[in-house]
Amino acid sequence: MIVPEHYEIIGSLVFFFAVLSIVVIILNAIKYMVFPKRFGKVEDGLYRSGQIHQRLIEKVLKKYNINSVVALNENELGDPKYVAEQDAVKRNGISFNRFQLIGDGTGDFNFYIKAVEQIVKAKSEDRNILVHCAAGAQRTGGTIAFYQLLVKNESPKNVYKHMRQYGWKDKTKYPLLGYINENIANVAEGLQKNGVLSDVPNPLPFLKSKHEKNKQKFWSIMKNKFIQFLNYVNFDLIYKWATFFIIPFFIVFTSFKNEIFFFYLFLAILKILKNGYKKSGLEYAFCIAMIGLLISSLDEGGLRTVKDCLRVARIISLPILMYQFKPIKELKRYFILLFGLLATYGLIRLNVFPIVKGYSDRAFCFADFYMNSSVIAFSGYLFFLVLFLKSKNKITKIMSLVNVAIFMYLIVIHGVRASYVTFLLVTPFVLCFEMKKQILKFIPFLLVGLIAVTAVFYVVDSNFTKLTKDRVASIFDMSQGSNRGRLCIWSNAIKTFKDNPVNGVGYKRFNKTNFDLDNQEFQWAFWHAHNEMLAMLAETGLIGTVTWLVFKLQLLLLLFKRRQSLLGAFILYFFIAFEVHNYFEVYLFERTTYIYVYLLIGACFNFFGGELLPKPNPASCE
């Protein structure tokens, strides 16, 4: 029988191993910041490694007097390690050649011929050469194996042993050994044709596996078929057109929540299998945030809390999944078209056949609830505001102003006070940040514009103008019903946090189903804390809240670095605006708005993958 003391012991063990996992993750992340990745000396003048960290690359090149570099991984444009390597070889006058092979060591065997030629050439000229790929195990191992077997005439047994020393494993999921045996004749003939070998070895040296190949014949055939499928399908094109369709589709039909995640997950897995994994910069923060949320399930949440945490993971992982694909170059034009159509659609729908449902019977035009619809309208407003401020084309500026006015109208019509507060806070921030010293000249025009818009609203519908004015004024009236309700719920959230400060009461458990508000007037509205940070404190405690903030701050930092471009500025300001909204509602409760926001972030993240790219070096073989 398990007694309460056992639960404490089990909880402590789970927490210990969670912390231990984080430590292992961190140590693994910084290991290759201290030591060159799988660096080793093959023989005098010949070195091998994985992609060396940007802090170490130039030191390694100088320390071992490297005069020539052969890279076998893909051209990871924008990756700091790649940029640092390019800069280092340029500064030190080092010969650099890239022969791009697939991550598992397979690919065009002609690249292996060229790589071995570079090794022989460097050795003949008494120059030190470094051969590397990303991990330093598969592609590098294949190149060194061909060199040792064909040029150095080393025994297959020693070559096999050398491959094992640098991370290659003799398992069926690693096809390198079979690939070498299948292509050694082609490589030998190519080297003979190019004058590297005088004769093709007879008999050819073949590597022998410790496993029975016959037992794996079926799976080997299936794997080859699968590889052919991966090479044939253009996943980047599928991602592009699917994203163009999914974003507007989800705005209208919000029932497909989990399906969006599983689609991008499936497509990203296939893309990673084909081209390898691309780091977005969010991975560690994502893992830390999810561990923090999951820890809240140790006391009372149980499996239900774990399930709710996994739902959050499906949303906030979208930028990581969407980053794996080639950037959509037309994204700016797509957003102009998308938000332009949304402005027209929203205007017509709200005035002709609005959606009216929910506890307040509010009219709205997007998504499945008026508060979600208001955030979508706010995204259109911010996009065209940023486009207006950054564009130098007069026609574009006029078009942007028209759409800004439409989306402002939609925001006002929705009557969501969180959007009103966000508008009052974020708009001046955007104007000051983008216009800087010119803001003083722009303020009079802004005031005149606001007065003109207010006047038009008053002439068209004076009653609505009065209602809007009263609604804005109610934001600051603490005696107003919903304000009193929020204050009551917020105070209970703080009390719940004080009672459970470490890991809270379980994610998504602070609601009327599990707790009594002690106030019957607002018990009906106690679906959640009506404030994301207070909800996190009450439900996940300090551990979950801090780890959640780590993720949000890392995301904010990555967006801030891209703020100079149109899409970078837009998504940064929209993320900030959404976080302001989260101080008045818990949008994770229904997930609709969160999915929409992270779809936009993911699309922009994907675009960032090709935005700040160095110019390719025509002298290198890429």
User: For residue range 487-504, what is the model confidence (pLDDT) as tens digits?
Assistant: 888 888 899 899 889 888
Q: CA 443 → CA 396, 427, 436, distances in Å?
A: 21, 12, 12
Band (pLDDT 50/70/90 cuts) for residue 462 is low
Distance of CA 471 to the CA centre of its chain: 38
Q: CA 158 → CA 43, 146, 197, 440, distances in Å?
A: 14, 13, 21, 75
> Between residues 215 and 262, which one has the greater pLDDT?
262
> Could you tell me the pTM of the whole model?
0.64
Burial level of 85, CB count in 10 A (0-12/13-18/19+)? buried
Residue 67 has pLDDT above 50, yes or no: yes
Q: Residue 47: name the closest of 121, 106, 152, 127 by CA.
A: 127
Instruction: Determine the pLDDT at residue 432.
Output: 84
Bridge partners of 375, per DSSP, are none
Residue 613 has pLDDT above 80, yes or no: no
CA distance linking residue 94 with residue 233, whole number of Å: 37
Top mean-pLDDT range of 103-107, 109-113, 452-456:
109-113
> Between residues 209 and 301, which one has the greater pLDDT?
209
Residue 616 has pLDDT above 70, yes or no: no
Residue 152 Ramachandran class (φ > 0 left, ψ -120 to 50 alpha, else beta): alpha
CA distance linking residue 539 with residue 536, whole number of Å: 5
Question: Structure tokens of 537?
Answer: 């404190």
Distance of CA 23 to the CA centre of its chain: 22
CA atoms within 13 A on the CB side of 272: 14
A 10 A CB-CB count for 193 gives 11
Instruction: Determine the pLDDT at residue 482.
Output: 76
Q: What is the mean pLDDT of residues 360-373?
A: 81
Quick one: DSSP state of residue 582? T
Any idea what the Cα angle at residue 322 is, between residues 318 and 328, rounded to 5°? 140
Q: What is the mean pLDDT of residues 240-259?
A: 91
Top mean-pLDDT range of 12-16, 18-22, 273-277:
273-277
Mean pLDDT of the chain: 84
User: For residue range 129-172, what is the model confidence (pLDDT) as tens digits?
Assistant: 999 998 899 999 999 999 999 999 999 989 998 998 888 887 77
User: For residue range 126-136, what is the model confidence (pLDDT) as tens digits?
Assistant: 999 999 998 89
Any idea what the Cα angle at residue 503 is, between residues 499 and 509, rounded to 5°? 80
Residue type, 215: K
Q: What is the mean pLDDT of residues 112-129?
A: 94
For the chain, counts of helices (H) and of strands (E): 23, 7
Instruction: Determine the pLDDT at residue 505.
Output: 87
Instruction: Determine the pLDDT at residue 127.
Output: 94
CA distance linking residue 97 with residue 89, whole number of Å: 11
Residues near 375 by Cβ (< 8 Å), separated by ≥ 6? 419, 578, 581, 587, 593, 596, 597
Residue 620 has pLDDT above 50, yes or no: no
User: For residue range 522-571, what is the model confidence (pLDDT) as tens digits?
Assistant: 777 777 888 899 989 988 999 999 999 999 999 999 999 988 899 999 99
User: For residue range 264-299, what is the model confidence (pLDDT) as tens digits?
Assistant: 999 999 999 888 888 888 999 999 999 998 988 887
State which CATH number among 3.40.190.10, 3.40.718.10, 3.90.190.10, 3.40.50.720 fits the domain covering 35-223. 3.90.190.10
Distance of CA 404 to the CA centre of its chain: 29
User: For residue range 228-239, what is the model confidence (pLDDT) as tens digits?
Assistant: 888 888 999 999
User: For residue range 305-333, what is the model confidence (pLDDT) as tens digits?
Assistant: 888 889 999 999 999 999 999 999 999 99
Q: CA 153 → CA 179, 367, 618, distances in Å?
A: 19, 68, 35
Residues near 47 by Cβ (< 8 Å), separated by ≥ 6? 39, 40, 41, 64, 66, 128, 129, 130, 131
Band (pLDDT 50/70/90 cuts) for residue 618 is very low
CA distance linking residue 448 with residue 436, whole number of Å: 20
Instruction: Determine the pLDDT at residue 8.
Output: 57
Q: Please report which helix (H) or strand (E) contains residue 5, including its range.
A: helix 4-34
User: What value does the CA radius of gyration of the chain take, rounded to a whole number of Å?
Assistant: 30
Instruction: Determine the pLDDT at residue 472.
Output: 67
Alpha helices in 415-510 (DSSP H): 417-435, 439-460, 462-474, 481-499
